[in-house]
């Protein structure tokens, strides 16, 4: 049985959402990012990303990490692709073409979108000026326009059904929702994100995240 290392208030939420959709019991080994602990190497420090046992799993000292037997994965989107393929039934690819499409969308989310949506979240948290926020939003205009074209014709990313590709994309898009009206210029994307976040598994994941200290 696979186990996930991390906390809910991290990229591990992507993996928790996937597991809930799949009905997979995925134990969460609470692993606190070291930046949230005054002295992560203290004898009485809680298990964290600088704890020796964790560094043996992931020398990068980041969460989440998935351990499934001898397999260790340290990238959240790759974790989801693996879980969906092995444990997710229809959430995962059903043929080679879907495997390629889901991989492509995961890389699209990671490279074309996440640097910009995450920057918006950070800027909002720092109380950045409207000008700085507008510049950051403009940086993701090109990939969002591409998504707008897609969602004007399709309800989902792959296979006309909800899959891991949608989870991965939605969790990257979510960062930008920190900015009011972030998707107003992209109504199809906005409607798509709202629909997926209304799913019971997302709501359950979000409740776990909000309840975490």
The CATH number of residue 124's host domain is 1.20.1050.10
DSSP 26: -
**Do 98 and 194 lie in a common domain?**
yes
Check the CA dihedral 118-121-123-126 and report its sign: negative
Could you identify the residue written with the tokens 């495997």? 99
**Which band of pLDDT confidence, cut at 50, 70 and 90, is reported for residue 81?**
very high
**Do 50 and 12 lie in a common domain?**
yes
Quote the tokens at residue 208.
Answer: 């776990």
**Which band of pLDDT confidence, cut at 50, 70 and 90, is reported for residue 117?**
very high
- Cα distances (Å, whole numbers) of residue 159 to 100, 162, 171, 211: 12, 8, 19, 34
Pairing of strands 65-68, 28-30: unpaired
Range of the domain at 21: 3-90+205-211
pLDDT for the residue numbered 1? 86
pLDDT for the residue numbered 169? 98
* Model confidence at 50: pLDDT above 90: yes
**Do 120 and 139 lie in a common domain?**
yes
pLDDT for the residue numbered 183? 96
Q: Select from 137, 115, 153, 150 the least CA-distant residue to 185.
A: 137
Q: How many domains does the chain have?
A: 2
**Do 110 and 188 lie in a common domain?**
yes
* Model confidence at 207: pLDDT above 90: yes
């Amino acid at each position: 049985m696979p186990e996930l290392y991390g906390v809910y208030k991290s990229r591990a939420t992507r993996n928790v959402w996937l597991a809930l959709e799949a009905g997979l019991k995925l134990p969460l080994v609470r692993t606190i990012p070291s930046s949230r602990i005054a002295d992560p190497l203290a004898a009485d420090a809680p298990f964290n990303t600088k704890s020796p046992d964790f560094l043996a799993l992931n020398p990068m000292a980041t969460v989440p990490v998935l351990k499934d037997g001898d397999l260790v994965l340290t990238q959240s989107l790759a974790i989801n692709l693996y879980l969906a393929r092995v444990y997710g039934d229809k959430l995962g690819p059903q043929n080679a073409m879907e495997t390629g499409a889901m991989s492509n969308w995961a890389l699209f989310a990671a490279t074309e979108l996440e640097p910009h949506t995450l920057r918006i979240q950070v800027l909002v948290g720092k109380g950045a000026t409207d000008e700085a926020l507008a510049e950051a939003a403009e940086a993701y205009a090109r990939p969002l326009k591409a998504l707008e074209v897609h969602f004007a014709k399709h309800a989902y990313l792959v296979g006309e059904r909800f899959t891991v590709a949608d989870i991965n994309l939605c969790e990257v898009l979510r960062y930008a929702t920190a900015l009011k009206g972030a998707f107003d210029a992209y109504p199809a994307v906005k409607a798509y994100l709202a629909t997926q976040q209304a799913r019971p598994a997302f709501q359950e994941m979000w409740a776990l995240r909000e309840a975490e200290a």
